Structure 1
Amino acid sequence: MFESLSQRLSTTVNRLRGRGRLTEENIREALREVRIALLEADVALPVVQALIQRIKVRAVGQDVIKSLSPGQALVKVVSDELTVVMGSANSELNLAQQPPAVVLMAGLQGAGKTTTVAKLARLLTERKKKKVMVVSCDVYRPAAIEQLRTLAEQVGVKFFPSEAGQDPVAIARAAVAAARREVVDVLIVDTAGRLHVDEAMMAEIKALHAAITPVETLFVVDSMTGQDAANTAKAFNEALPLTGVILTKTDGDARGGAALSVRYVTGKPIKFLGAGEKSDALEPFHPDRLAQRILGMGDVLSLVEEVERKVDQDKAQKLAQKVMKGKRFDLNDMKDQLEQMGNMGGLAGLMDKLPGMGNLPDSVKSKVNDGEMNKMIAIICSMTKKERRHPDLLNGSRRARVARGSGTQPADVNRLLKQYMQMEKMMSKLSKGGTKGLMRQMRGAMKGVGGMGGLPPMR
């Protein structure tokens, strides 16, 4: 998300970052480019106008022109104002009430509401340690109830059964009663979607809201609809007391206009971003972190949280002990590392959160894709256990066999082994030189990656 906007804004602010002095003319020219970038990102016009005006007031005042480093000061102003437009800080779900805390999900058809119910249920179970139940009041869409039942099983939460012929309000009331009996912490209610905002839909969801008085009423909206996302959320907000918004399909939205528009247009906070089809692809929305990503500063905090949550700590500890004892780093270890990277969103997901990666040339970015990582894992899986432990055994005929088994070419196997040898060399130096040795190696590796010398791309 925000690829084009991030590139445009990063280029603009980087030109100003190193300047010793800024004039009003410099700032006007920069803001003109910022305005164009925002409009191209499909940000709603009132939001663009308000944002530019706020930046301008601060930029031509004491904050920037009289600063010792005006370029840096302007970058901070732009970052601050982007954060304010998107809501200043993360707005958590309000679940502090007598259980069950009822969460009502609303939205148009096709926005990904049912899958988002499952993602939210998993997030609350794993991160908040809540006992969660889900129920479907969508009695119109074929197989909607069965879809939620399947997803509930996958994420390990309770499912309250319902049938297509039932009344949605009766289903919701029965689910609340069941959640109370079973001492469930959170009940998430999925509702029917429509192709557009119509009176019948609004009447039904108003009746549901009145019957179960949810503590949270969340509007699920497809971010790829751009400005329409903000307008639709506004229409729902006028008919229903929304408490927040969940933006879905943000991984497919290169422009990001919805994220910048929804809070300003509706006055309601964006609480979560959905970025992918997997059940763990739902993240709390942090406006300050997203503003930094837009400006090419990365999102190291989110990356650290993701590493802590998704990396297998036992495997990481065992590898560290193995290396420090001087034992050889083998292809099994390399496979584990590749799989851990995949769990964290792959190479592309990691790069998105690292500072300065937005400035890499497109020719370099295009070579970083998770398909190549999956290919590397497939090659290692085609080797025997002995070959993985002792890569030196892989002569020409064995490499040809591995290539056939993994559906790749011998050249792909050769490239993988070259990358393995670089990693093995780094781990070997770590065991000899300790942490300082690792840091030296990492600096050298990063230089190589910058020119794709450290990790030669597979074709």
Structure 2
Amino acid sequence: MFDNLSEKLDKALHVLKGRGQITEINVAETMKEVRRALLDADVNFKIAKEFTNTVKEKALGQNVLTNLQPGQLMVKIVKDELTTLMGGDAEELNLTGSPSVILMSGLQGSGKTTFSGKLANYLKNKKTKKPLLVACDVYRPAAIDQLHVVGEQIGVEVFSDRDNNDPIAIAKAGVKHAKENGCNVVIIDTAGRLAVDEAMMDEISNIHKAINPQETLFVVDSMTGQDAVNTAKAFNDILNFDGVILTKLDGDTRGGAAISIKSVVDKPIKFIGTGEKMEAIDVFYPSRMADRILGMGDVVSLVERAQEQFDEEQARKIQKKIAKNRFGFDDFLSQIQQIKKMGNMKDLMGMIPGAGKALKGLDIDDDAFKHIEAIIHSMTPDERSNPSKLNSSRKKRIAAGSGRTIQDVNQLLKQFEQMSKMMKMMQGGGGKKMMQMMQNMR
């Protein structure tokens, strides 16, 4: 996420991060590089210029040049200004209605239908709501089918009327159905177009007037950069929407839309999409995103994701096994499954301070564990419970069964042994030390 921008900002701020003397000339030159990095990230020129001018003024106003640690103070100013530029504080959804109605808008291909499902899943599992998805795209039958598939996948009811070509009537009927069936949130998925046109704007505007939603959200593909910002402005002029949803952020190496959209439309980014899975949805925290852009990681979000997948009962069982030296490959496999549920692997690694730079150039994907899983699944239940039994002939059989080499099997055994030792150390009070180490990496 935003790899190119992070790398360029890191290079721009490198001079100032040192402890040597910093001059007004250094600051001016660095701000030129920061501006260039923002422009390369497809940030609007006016916004990039205003941003660097503000940072420069604040830096000179706060006596950065005479500070004992000028580099750190300068990075903090850049981080604070990035946070402000992206909206300052996270914005909650307005769920005060009975039911609360959320209208989804956006261009075709922005990921609107998929994100409607992600939002329903989020509200169901994290906000204990009973959502209803309403299919109002009457032009694309596949959109109705897609929403039904998504609804079935997450266990959320979908309201549709294939015989009706009036999206306003369908939206109203959907809200009525929600009231009659105890659904307290209605998410209305509307039709998208390949470009902004008058007919589309009239239709979405008429739906908006007819149902008077508590929340109108604009869904946009973050990878389209300034096009995303311009489209957001066109929609906002008609709808006066309440917030922005940035999808496909996991594939965005630039970050122009995330950085400049708030300044242009003066509406907050409320959620981001970070992958294909239904769980790949995050509340947008400008401060945490600024940390990630500047290569500081995002430990808070990482811990939150880990806590969501944390199974206390399973953790107690594993603790007992570790204490008795009975931690086996089945337990190792269960830990891998929990990690995979936390989300996209590259995104998770980006949350660890300093990891982005350390792992630069490495291909990290969601299949990162597939070879490990193949090796473990090629073991017998007895071998998984008792790794010490794995002699050379057994290793040879496991390698052949998993399509890997004996070296791969040996490497996994070594990693497993190291992990077992680390987990034992964590039980002995080493956990606090490890957390302190992670905090010091920031």
Distance 1:301 1:63, change over 3 A: farther
AA of the residue aligned to 1:426? M
Tell me, in whole angstroms, the C-alpha distance in 2 between the residues paired with 1:199 and 1:206. 10
Matching of residue 390 in structure 1 with residue 389 in structure 2: no
Question: 1:133 Cα shift?
Answer: 0.5
Pairs within 5 Å for 1:106-145: 106-145=105-144
Retained in 1: the 8 A contact 2:136–2:160? no
* CA deviations over 1:101-153 (Å, ceiling 9, x no partner): 11000000001100000000011111111111010100111321111111112
Equivalent in the alignment of 1:151: 150
Instruction: Please give the TM-score of this superposition, normalised by the length of structure 1.
Output: 0.91
Alpha-carbon distance in 1 for matches of 2:233, 2:212 = 21
Q: Give, in whole Å, the separation in 1 of the partners of 2:424 and 2:114.
A: 45
Decide whether the 8 Å contact of 1:90 with 1:286 is kept in 2. Answer: yes
Q: State the shift of 1:60 in Å.
A: 1.7
Q: How does 1:3-82 map to 2 (within 5 A)?
A: 3-82=3-82
Name the counterpart of 2:292. Answer: 293
- Cross-structure match for 2:325: 327
Displacement of 1:424 in angstroms is: 2.4
What corresponds to 2:313 in structure 1?
A: 314
Task: Give the structure 1 partner of residue 418 of structure 2.
Answer: 422
- Change beyond 3 A, Cα 1:443–1:241: closer
Hey, what does 1:85 align to over in structure 2? Answer: 85
- Does the 8 Å contact 2:171/2:188 carry over to 1? yes
Other-structure match for 2:402: 406
Q: 1:352 aligns with which of 327, 350, 353?
A: 350
The aligned length equals: 439
4+ aligned runs moved over 6 Å, structure 1: 439-444
Query: Any conservation in 1 of the 2:309–2:341 contact (CA below 8 Å)?
Result: yes
Larger mean CA deviation between 141-150 and 404-413 belongs to 404-413
Cα-Cα RMSD: 2.1
Identity of aligned residues (%): 51
Q: Describe the shift of the 1:317–1:367 C-alpha distance in structure 2 as closer, same or farther (beyond 3 A).
A: farther
Q: Which amino acid aligns with 1:408?
A: R
Could you tell me how far 1:300 is from its partner in structure 2?
Answer: 1.1
Given that 1:426 and 1:441 are in contact with CA atoms closer than 8 Å, whether structure 2 keeps it comes out as: no
Counterpart of 2:350 in 1: which secondary structure? Answer: helix
Q: Does 1:188 align with 2:182?
A: no
Query: Deviations 1:6-63 (Å, cap 9, x if unpaired)?
Result: 1121233243123254221010111111011111111122221121121111112125
Deviation per CA, 1:254-307: give whole Å up to 9, x if none.
111110011111111100000111001010000011001111111111111111
Deviating more after overlay: 350-359 vs 209-218: 350-359
Shift of 1:246: 0.2
Distance 1:376 1:229, change over 3 A: same
Asked if structure 2 preserves the Cα contact closer than 8 Å seen for 1:22 and 1:70, the reply is yes
Query: Contact 1:44 / 1:261 at 8 angstroms: preserved in 2?
Result: yes
Q: How far has the Cα of 1:4 moved from its partner?
A: 1.1
User: Mean Cα displacement is larger for which, 48-57 or 345-354?
Assistant: 345-354
Letter in 2 for 1:185: N
Amino acid at match of 1:354: I
In structure 2, runs of 5+ residues without a counterpart are none
Q: Compute the TM-score of the two structures, normalised by the length of structure 2.
A: 0.94
Residues in 1 aligned to 2:170 and 2:382: alpha-carbon distance in whole angstroms: 57
Mapped partners of 2:387, 2:326: distance in 1: 11
- Greater displacement, 400-409 / 85-94: 400-409
- 1:330-379 CA-partner distances (Å, limit 9, x unpaired): 1112112222221112542322011122332635xx16544332210121
The residue aligned with 1:199 is 198
Relative to structure 2, which stretch is displaced further, 271-280 or 422-431? 422-431
What CA deviation, in whole Å up to 9, does each residue of 1:401-430 have, x standing for no partner? 222322322222221112112222334455
In the TM superposition, what is the alpha-carbon distance from 1:322 to its structure 2 partner? 2.6
For structure 1, the residue ranges without an aligned partner over 5 or more in a row are: 451-459
User: Alpha-carbon deviation of 1:205?
Assistant: 0.6
Distance 1:312 1:179, change over 3 A: same
> Do the aligned residues in 1 keep the contact of 2:96 with 2:214 (CA within 8 Å)?
no
Q: 1:56-105 CA deviation, whole Å, 9 max, x = no partner?
A: 111121252343322111111100110111000101111123x1111000
